[in-house]
Structure 1
Amino acid sequence: MNINETITIRPNARQYQWQQVEFFGFIHFGINTMNDVEWGDGSESPSVFNPSKLDCHQWVKTFKDAGMKGAILTCKHHDGFCLWPSQFTQHSVASSPWKNGVGDVVAEFSQACHDLDMKFGVYLSPWDRAESTYGQGKAYDDYFVHQIEELLTNYGDVFEVWFDGANGEGPNGKVQVYDWQRYYDTIHRLQPKAVIAISGPDVRWVGNEAGKTRDNEWSVVPIQYSNPNYTADHSQQVDDGTFPLHFDATDQDLASSERLANYTGELIWYPAEVDTSIRPGWFYHENQDEQVRSAEELFDIYKGAVGGNCALILNVPPNKEGLFAAQDIQNLQALGKKIKQLKHLRPKGDFKYYVSSNQLGLNKDTMQTQRLTDSYWQSAVADETPSITLRFEEQQAINTLILQEHILASQRVERFTIYYRKNNQKQQLLSSGTIGYQKIVEFDTLYTDEIWIEFNEFRGDTVCINTGIAGYLER
């Protein structure tokens, strides 16, 4: 295929809005928490669910302190136990002693998100080990759609619906063949602004649960990666305790020019989401209290994901009482301080941008310094090596640059090189690959008053870079 044709593939409105959320929380909580297991089998008694101090406000406030903008709740995991009083099953909080059977965790969680101005999302496992119709085709699809309708009708705006890839056998020994398009149509009808993630058409799973990203992450990829069967084949299928720690290098190159050279199929905009947990498990286990990821490790994961053309969803599991453990809170608050510092630090004194050519007529000396806006720079068609120069008022100690493509014009940059001035000479610092929505580039601290970014390889005739490119001081 002609690689330049890929720039016609661009995000839709809900994908673009989702990408700007960047970082959000995940809550794995339910009957598995009470039984101290990762996966239940659907035979659990709802009588064990009775969190004595459940506080969704604490969860969401901690997420906000960590620098997140939204949160997703596991409303139903593979065990089928529903954290809301579903009208279509007895395997729910309505059959539990918690709040005498009239409680609704989903309602409390969505209200906490609303109160703290955080986006609210739902995880709903398609695999339901408690439901007798699972594996019976349409009968189960009817049941599952009813539950989707409950969650997307009764709890306000939803920004993401998260479908797991796990899919085991039902009571009849058969694996359910999901009517995915029916599920998608239901979601689009009830929550048209919500993206459907992982086993869905809008957001792609990065491919592991270890918090790892590819060196070059493309949002324009072959349509085959959106097939739920592909996701299922690469997802965890048994509770063996090792999958969350495993990083498989399979399909490291999804959509480079070399990979697409002989591709003749359809391409889609399908950005990646990185999911990982603050602990070894997804649900809370007291014996993992000493294995909570540090703020430093979480910050590295954040920079790799959010700074690697992905979004990051970080799981934090509440304990049996319904609260986050103290160590988790402490590490998340420290993470939030690091992220805030990264977002707000700027070089000392004034600095200006200069560009090698200009397609849009922006004044070269007045490039905007804010980020995440629709204002962007586009190079001229005749400019074969577009570049941006950052000229500082005084010499800086600097070790980080943040770059953003204007993804409403697609993802174009394949390779760029950074140079800096040293002893009045132009010195090469590093060369890197894709940018996409955002690239956080770190390097050993250097001292300079001028930096150049040259775009060496790109798709189409121009590059489109958000004017919010920023240089950051040593932290």
Structure 2
Amino acid sequence: MKKNYPIILIISCMIGLWVTGCQSGKSVPPPAPLLPVPSENQLAWHEMEMNAFIHFTTNTFTGKEWGYGDESPSVFNPSELDTDQWISVLKETGFKGVILTCKHHDGFCLWPSEYTEHSVKNSPYKDGNGDIVKEVSDACKKYGLKFGVYLSPWDRNHKDYGNPGYITYYRNQLKELFTGYGSVFEMWFDGANGGDGYYGGKREIRRIDRETYYDWPATLHLVRGIQPEVVFFSDAGPDIRWIGNERGYAGETNWNTITPDTLYAGKAGIQKLLNTGSIDGSHWIPGEVDVSIRPGWFYHAEEDSLVKTPEQLFDIYLTSVGRGAVLLLNVPPDRRGLIHENDVRSLQDFGELLHETFSNNLASGATVKASGYRGKSSQFSPNNLIDGDKETYWTMDDDAVTGSFELEFSEAKTVSYVLLQEYIPLGQRIKSFRVEVWNNDEWETVSEATTIGHKRILQIKPVKTSKIRINITDSKACPVISNIELY
């Protein structure tokens, strides 16, 4: 798929910074973008950082993870369903968006689709008058979260799966979701495609050509024609890629770029590449880290004691958001239609742990200096690193791919976390860097890392110091860093 880079955005950034330079008496152009760069929609997605997945269907009531497709709609009967409870808990934790499994592999639809009888309209829930997609969408609007949809390409219930007629069915349902429920920020689809199923009573195995069957370019073009701002997730994009595992971590080296020409949903053997990205990738396709708060993706009562602890969730945050990815944490409602008390407690404590850890930025008020800055012009000064403005940055001359900056405090402070952000509208550049602290009248290295991207959080052994230095040891082009925070 052809990539449309946000040229207007890039030009606006460059002109704005150039004008600022002229006003300060020096006309110094900003660095040229290092392609590929993110689109405006991808930039907005990066800023979300934490989203929630909600897996909910007949599986919740049958105890399965993958429904076979022959489950009767009558089993779907949540007794106390309250989407306000779901979304308010997620909002309080700090999530910015929610993706709902509108249809999983079993084919059961959480909205009253006109194209199938295998849906909530034939369930006992609200006597067949319920629409959980609408309830979740409305709750997201109420609490200020963005709403996303998961619509499984594989359908073990539908009689036409594997034949051309199913593609028309799938696209018709996408039209329903993208025209009837307001703005959708992300469309999610995975690589589980084809195998045994009910298939309208055939009870057989159906295979598809995963590379060509769905004609994804045409399907996504259809959706983007309805909602242009949507971003698409699959194993290889086109907008967001799978991170290669469901255990909660991005690679310690994590490039937002990858070359998707030979990748497609469900292709085997690409996990390592998806986990790290590619330093010379042709497209900006950042990683999303999907992981469940429980061992399974759907609620199972026997897992009530196995909910991830706040500390485990915090570690996942550091290995996902803290490595430049976006975290997608699954929180499955129980058979009542509520987020279970154990999950709520863990989420609340996780949110408090995030707040406690990252509420007091020690970099505020520090004195900042650098080994150099672009054209010695104030618009690229190292002071931009702590000004709280994500649109300003420190950078160097074009021929500089190494460099350093340091923060000095009026009195020694104990530092445990170092947070860095590149100005990714101009591309991802940093290949390696190290963190150094002033100790016993000399610089001591306390951490070394590779990529930064949207955000990098390094946890270091707590150290009391009056100065800290970031030493960039290699870059693809002159480094462009917008922010440093210390905790």
**TM-score of the aligned structures, taking structure 2 as reference length:** 0.87
Which residue number corresponds to residue 278 of structure 2?
255
Check the 8 A contact 2:383/2:394 in 1, yes or no: no
Which residue number corresponds to residue 413 of structure 2?
396
Which residue number corresponds to residue 326 of structure 1?
341
Deviation at 1:366, TM superposition (A): 3.9
Structure 2 CA distance for aligned equivalents of residues 416 and 51 of structure 1: 52
Residue identity matched to 1:133: D
Structure 2 CA distance for aligned equivalents of residues 180 and 251 of structure 1: 19
Check the 8 A contact 1:51/1:320 in 2, yes or no: yes
Check the 8 A contact 1:348/1:396 in 2, yes or no: no
Say whether 1:204 aligns with 2:236: no
Residue identity matched to 1:192: P
Name the SS for the 1:233 alignment partner.
coil
Check the 8 A contact 2:422/2:480 in 1, yes or no: yes
Check the 8 A contact 1:352/1:367 in 2, yes or no: no
Which residue number corresponds to residue 206 of structure 2?
174
Q: Compared with structure 1, are the counterparts of its residues 251 and 68 closer, same or farther at alpha carbon in structure 2 (3 Å cutoff)?
A: closer
Which residue number corresponds to residue 445 of structure 2?
428
Check the 8 A contact 1:405/1:465 in 2, yes or no: yes
Deviation at 1:58, TM superposition (A): 0.8
Name the SS for the 2:416 alignment partner.
strand
Structure 1 CA distance for aligned equivalents of residues 366 and 54 of structure 2: 42
Say whether 1:289 aligns with 2:304: yes
Q: Compared with structure 1, are the counterparts of its residues 363 and 161 closer, same or farther at alpha carbon in structure 2 (3 Å cutoff)?
A: closer
Name the SS for the 1:280 alignment partner.
coil
Q: What percent of counterpart residues are identical?
A: 39
Structure 2 CA distance for aligned equivalents of residues 446 and 224 of structure 1: 46
Q: Compared with structure 1, are the counterparts of its residues 333 and 413 closer, same or farther at alpha carbon in structure 2 (3 Å cutoff)?
A: same
Match of 1:185 among 221, 231, 243: 221
Residue identity matched to 2:451: T
Deviation at 1:71, TM superposition (A): 0.7
Check the 8 A contact 2:434/2:448 in 1, yes or no: yes
Q: Compared with structure 1, are the counterparts of its residues 356 and 146 closer, same or farther at alpha carbon in structure 2 (3 Å cutoff)?
A: same
Say whether 1:414 aligns with 2:431: yes
Structure 2 CA distance for aligned equivalents of residues 173 and 6 of structure 1: 49
Match of 2:74 among 47, 54, 70: 47
Say whether 1:69 aligns with 2:96: yes
Name the SS for the 1:283 alignment partner.
coil
Check the 8 A contact 1:356/1:379 in 2, yes or no: no
Instruction: Provide, for residues 100-126 of structure 1, a one-character-per-residue CA deviation record: whole Å limited to 9, x for no partner.
Output: 111000000001100000011001100
Structure 1 CA distance for aligned equivalents of residues 177 and 275 of structure 2: 35
Q: Compared with structure 1, are the counterparts of its residues 232 and 77 closer, same or farther at alpha carbon in structure 2 (3 Å cutoff)?
A: farther
Residue identity matched to 2:218: R
Which residue number corresponds to residue 172 of structure 2?
146
Aligned residues: 444
Structure 2 CA distance for aligned equivalents of residues 181 and 154 of structure 1: 23
Check the 8 A contact 2:380/2:392 in 1, yes or no: no
Unaligned runs of 5+ in 2: 1-30
Name the SS for the 1:404 alignment partner.
strand
Structure 1 CA distance for aligned equivalents of residues 77 and 335 of structure 2: 8
Structure 2 CA distance for aligned equivalents of residues 372 and 214 of structure 1: 28
Deviation at 1:363, TM superposition (A): 7.0
Which residue number corresponds to residue 25 of structure 2?
none
Matches within 5 A, 1:48-447: 48-137=75-164, 139-169=165-195, 171=199, 173-176=205-208, 177-199=213-235, 200-224=237-261, 227-229=263-265, 231-233=266-268, 254-256=277-279, 267-347=282-362, 350-359=365-374, 361-362=378-379, 364=381, 366-367=383-384, 369=386, 371=388, 373-447=390-464
Which residue number corresponds to residue 470 of structure 1?
485
Structure 1 CA distance for aligned equivalents of residues 81 and 352 of structure 2: 26
With 291-300 and 424-433 compared, the bigger mean Cα shift is at 424-433
Which residue number corresponds to residue 453 of structure 1?
470
Check the 8 A contact 1:14/1:195 in 2, yes or no: yes
Check the 8 A contact 1:352/1:365 in 2, yes or no: no
Unaligned runs of 5+ in 1: 236-247, 261-265
Deviation at 1:356, TM superposition (A): 2.1
Say whether 1:16 aligns with 2:43: yes
Structure 2 CA distance for aligned equivalents of residues 454 and 320 of structure 1: 53
Structure 2 CA distance for aligned equivalents of residues 363 and 80 of structure 1: 54
Structure 2 CA distance for aligned equivalents of residues 384 and 18 of structure 1: 28
Structure 2 CA distance for aligned equivalents of residues 55 and 228 of structure 1: 37
Check the 8 A contact 2:244/2:272 in 1, yes or no: no
Name the SS for the 2:126 alignment partner.
helix
Structure 1 CA distance for aligned equivalents of residues 291 and 283 of structure 2: 25
Which residue number corresponds to residue 4 of structure 2?
none
Structure 2 CA distance for aligned equivalents of residues 253 and 155 of structure 1: 35
Residue identity matched to 2:140: C
Check the 8 A contact 2:241/2:274 in 1, yes or no: no
Deviation at 1:454, TM superposition (A): 1.1
Instruction: Provide, for residues 379-415 of structure 1, a one-character-per-residue CA deviation record: whole Å limited to 9, x for no partner.
Output: 1224453211111121001111100011111110000
Check the 8 A contact 2:275/2:287 in 1, yes or no: no
With 290-299 and 196-205 compared, the bigger mean Cα shift is at 196-205
Instruction: Provide, for residues 65-118 of structure 1, a one-character-per-residue CA deviation record: whole Å limited to 9, x for no partner.
Output: 211111110000000000000010000000111101110000000011000000
Name the SS for the 1:318 alignment partner.
coil
Residue identity matched to 2:93: A
Deviation at 1:39, TM superposition (A): 0.9
Structure 1 CA distance for aligned equivalents of residues 442 and 353 of structure 2: 33
Residue identity matched to 1:174: R
Q: Compared with structure 1, are the counterparts of its residues 288 and 371 closer, same or farther at alpha carbon in structure 2 (3 Å cutoff)?
A: farther
- Supply the RMSD in Å over aligned alpha carbons: 2.1
Deviation at 1:6, TM superposition (A): 9.6
Q: Compared with structure 1, are the counterparts of its residues 37 and 388 closer, same or farther at alpha carbon in structure 2 (3 Å cutoff)?
A: same
Check the 8 A contact 2:364/2:386 in 1, yes or no: no
Name the SS for the 1:443 alignment partner.
strand
Check the 8 A contact 1:349/1:393 in 2, yes or no: no
Deviation at 1:179, TM superposition (A): 1.6
Residue identity matched to 2:278: A
Check the 8 A contact 2:254/2:323 in 1, yes or no: yes
Q: Compared with structure 1, are the counterparts of its residues 5 and 79 closer, same or farther at alpha carbon in structure 2 (3 Å cutoff)?
A: farther
Deviation at 1:375, TM superposition (A): 1.4
